[in-house]
Amino acid sequence: MGIKNSLKRKISEGSLSNFLNHLRWIYSYAKKYWKKIVIYTLLGLMGTFLSLFSGFATRDMVDIITGHQVGTLIATFAFMIGVTLGNTIINQVSNYISSKISITVESDLKAEIFYKIMITDWESLSEYHTGDILTRWNSDVAIISNGILNFVPNFVVFTSRFVVALIVMLQNDWTFAAITFLTMPLSIFLSKHMMKKMRENSLKTMEITSKISGFNQETFSNIQTIKSFSLVPQYIKRLHTLQKEYFLINMKYQRAAIWIAIFNILLSTLVSYLAYGWGIYRVWSNVITYGTMTLFISLSGTLSSAVNSMISLFPMLIKMSTSAQRLMDLVEMPLEDFSNDSDVKEFAKQNLDTGISICLDKVNYSYKNGNEVFKGASIEANPHEAIALVGPSGEGKTTMLRLILALINKKGGEAELYGENSFKTEDGKEEKSIPLNAAARQLFSYVPQGNTMLSGTIAENMRFVKPDATDEEIWNALDMACAKDFVEKMADGINSELKERGGGISEGQAQRLSIARALLRKSPLLLLDEATSALDVATERRVLKNIMKDEYPRTLIVTTHRPTVLSACNRVYAIQDKKCKVLNEEEINELVRAF
């Protein structure tokens, strides 16, 4: 009755249903590896039966030596050697196959989770710290991949050992089985208590591990700022605080685990000595032989260890469940909309030669915390035009570019790309426009704020967006971005090595390389988000002039704090009162004078 009420309570609280949901999610990934799991399980079963044969051989050997059985000592000894060698070979083959399957499963699972994370809605994903995402992708995937390989095969193997050993004992002398079962109810009770501790500890450990990972990632990414403000002692202190928290969480669990382990060892020792004592009594009573006693003691240990091994698998299941929940939190977030990818490609095919326009009409957007950024904002940009977005910091310039890139989704209004030529959609309709969504992102080049250079050569950085680019194309892009002169002066030209985050060059040089990389891609739509902020005014104007002189029908949108380049733009939008207002010439001149 108590078990029934406990089960009802867990179902009503949702813990059991959540646990089963986690297992179903794990199964959805595990089922594709069922053949590998079966092979690994069969090898484990072979080892189990060889261990049983070894027990029989040991019994016969003891009986031959003690004179209770007449047999061929050499044949029995040879059989024992054969069983031992067979067991050794199976163990080694099993370990090899286990490693091979484990690496394969973990790699496949990581690749699949990686893909799902990459196509997850950016705004939802940005709620998680990068360090936390990395911890989930690395540690939690490893826990699940190891569990997929180990739980089912080991459960089958341990259960088989238990059943086989029990059958043999019951057929020969049921009293030994009874002694073995004496401590099992108490072991199960202690394991139930331990599993609850394990789940709590697992969740807390993963949370603090994510915190430490996030702290490390942020620290190493901002080491220049930390050094500049002499913050090293504070960061070391913060690391020690996190490490202490991790230590205390784990030690609390370890103390409980130690006491339970000690108790289990004492119980196992008690069972062993009872079995020894009972075996000696049965031998002295001439009920069994010394060899049979040896076999029964061995089987008694097998029974006991099989039960303990099966119980020990459940903490693994708990950890898998916890990791599944953490991964499900990521991969079950809304995905980006790539549903019209084929339409976008056809639209581009028909309009790349003439150019593509952007139109946002009465767009609304609010952050998830309710902070409203745009209400009825409209903007338009056409081929061979340079459009500027100006406004105070934090008023929504970068947010507008993210809306255009569909990194965040509008809450109302229309957002489209359109061209001069119509195209046929996948469902047969003639259209001249496509919605701005994730699929349309393939038509953009984007230079965000900050240094976006990667470690490697300049050429490798350029080919990051266009793998088949020739050296001539790279030099042309560098020339247009006013980067050719300083690259030519470098020892190895475009084959010069850059350090992480563009180390070895100035911020202005890194910005020009980023612009060159975007131009190399030759996308019909180019977005520059404060991408010239580190350039002097003359270079900034020259870069924009070069882009505008280019015959390629490119649509350019720039955000800037410096109004000195506004005269080079066809149209200037000021973000005011959550709208985008077109400024007239007098208003633009006023901005320039006030700068």
Helix segments in 222-340, DSSP class H: 223-228, 232-284, 290-331
Domain boundary among 331, 354, 376: 331
Look up the CATH number of the domain holding residue 294: 1.20.1560.10
Give, in order, the Cα–Cα distances in Å from 486 to each of 330, 475, 489, 512.
43, 12, 5, 10
Using a pLDDT cut of 90, give the percent of the chain over it: 20
Nearest alpha-carbon partner for 47 in 317, 302, 311, 304: 302
Residue-level pLDDT at 357: 94
Count how many domains the chain has. Answer: 2
Q: Are 142 and 206 in contact (CB under 8 A)?
A: no
Q: How far is CA 131 from the centre of its chain?
A: 10
Say yes or no: 284 and 302 in one domain. yes
Q: Are strands 357-366 and 579-582 parallel, antiparallel or unpaired?
A: unpaired
Residue 20 lies in a domain: yes
Same domain for 293 and 421, yes or no, is no
Burial class (CB in 10 A: 0-12, 13-18, 19+), 175: middle
> How does pLDDT run across 456-506, given as a tens digit for each residue?
899 999 998 899 999 999 999 999 999 999 999 988 899 998 887 777 788
Alpha-carbon gap, residue 31 to 25, rounded angstroms: 10
Q: How confident is the model at residue 189 (pLDDT cuts 50, 70, 90)?
A: low
Helix (H, G, I), strand (E, B) or coil at 90: helix
Work out the pLDDT band at 11, boundaries 50, 70, 90: very low
Residue with tokens 């609280």: 13
Helix/strand/coil (H/E/C) assignment for every residue in 155-192: HHHHHHHHHHHHHHHHHHCHHHHHHHHCCHHHHHHHHH
- Reply yes or no on whether the pLDDT at 170 is more than 80: no
Query: 277: closest CA among 170, 175, 168, 183?
Result: 175
For residue 196, what are the CA distances in angstroms to 168, 190, 253, 318, 319?
A: 35, 10, 11, 9, 11
Both 472 and 559 in one domain: the answer is: yes
Average pLDDT, stretch 300-324?
A: 74
Identify the CA nearest to 152 among candidates 49, 29, 298, 325: 29
Q: How buried is residue 422: exposed, middle or buried, by Cβ count under 10 Å (0-12/13-18/19+)?
A: middle
Same domain? For 312 and 381 the reply is no
The answer as to whether 1 is a domain residue is no
Same domain membership, residue 477 and residue 378: yes
Model confidence pTM above 0.95: no
* Domain co-membership, 317 together with 371: no
> CA–CA separation, 30 vs 41, rounded Å?
14
Higher pLDDT, residue 131 or 417: 417
Give yes or no for a contact between 383 and 553, defined as CB atoms under 8 angstroms apart: yes
Residue 546 located in a structural domain: yes
One-letter amino acid of 183: T
Tokens 């280019």 appear where?
550
Mean pLDDT of 526-530: 90
Between 194 and 353, whose confidence is greater? 353
Residue 301 scores a pLDDT above 90: no
Domain boundary among 273, 297, 331: 331
Domain assignment present for 6: no
Q: Are residues 353 and 311 in the same domain?
A: no
Which pair of tokens denotes residue 430?
């003639």
The whole-angstrom separation of Cα 408 and Cα 29 is 30
Residues in the chain: 595
Residues 544, 532: Cα–Cα separation, whole Å: 9
Q: What is the pLDDT of residue 297?
A: 67
Question: What's the pLDDT band for 4 if we cut at 50, 70, 90?
Answer: very low
> 213-265, pLDDT tens digit by residue?
888 877 887 776 777 777 788 888 888 888 888 888 878 777 766 776 677 66
Please tell me which of 48-52, 263-267, 316-320, 431-435 the model is most confident about, judged by mean pLDDT: 431-435
Rounded to whole angstroms, what are the CA distances from 212 to 136, 200, 240, 243, 254? 13, 18, 10, 8, 20
| Pairing relationship of beta strands 386-390 and 555-559 according to DSSP bridges | parallel
Indicate which CATH number applies to the domain containing 380: 3.40.50.300
Residue 9 lies in a domain: no
Give the per-residue pLDDT at 393.
Answer: 76
The arrangement of strands across the sheet holding 525-529 comes to: 444-447, 525-529, 555-559, 386-390, 571-576, 579-582
CA-closest candidate to residue 172, choices 289, 61, 54, 308: 289
Q: How far is residue 353's CA from residue 328's CA, in Å, rounded to a whole number?
A: 44
Residue 424 within a domain:
yes
User: How far, in Å, are 251, 323, 332 from residue 248 at the CA level?
Assistant: 5, 21, 32
Do 98 and 239 share a structural domain? yes
Residue 320 and residue 369 share a domain:
no
H helices within 337-391, ranges in order? 341-351
Say if 10 falls within a structural domain. Answer: no
Phi/psi of residue 522, nearest 5 degrees: 55, 55
Q: Per the domain annotation, does 46 fall within a domain?
A: yes
Residues 401-435: pLDDT tens digits?
Answer: 999 999 988 899 999 999 999 988 888 888 899 99
Together in a domain, 281 and 390:
no
Contacts with 511 (C-beta within 8 Å, 6 or more apart), sequence order: 447, 451, 531, 532, 533, 534, 535
Q: Are residues 303 and 383 in the same domain?
A: no
Range of the domain at 537: 341-594
CA nearest neighbour of 361 among 408, 406, 415: 415
Q: Confidence class of residue 54 from pLDDT cuts 50, 70 and 90?
A: low
Residue 285 tokens read as: 């009573």
Same domain? For 177 and 294 the reply is yes
pLDDT tier at 350, thresholds 50, 70, 90: very high
Alpha-carbon distance 396 to 392, whole Å? 9
Chain center to CA of 235: 26
Q: Name the residue with tokens 């390989």.
A: 149
Task: Kindly state the tokens that stand for 313.
Answer: 């698998």
Query: Are 592 and 563 within 8 A, CB to CB?
Result: yes
Question: Can you tell me the mean pLDDT for 101-111?
Answer: 82
Does position 358 have pLDDT exceeding 70, yes or no?
yes
Residues 6+ apart with CB under 8 A from 454: 460, 461, 464, 498, 500, 501
Burial zone of 168 (CB within 10 Å; 0-12 exposed, 13-18 middle, 19+ buried): buried
Higher-confidence residue: 252 or 524?
524
**Which of 284, 311, 331 is a domain's end point?**
331
Predicted pLDDT of residue 264? 67
State the Cα–Cα distance between residues 321 and 522, nearest whole angstrom: 47
Q: Which residue has the tokens 């031998």?
A: 283
pLDDT, position 404: 93
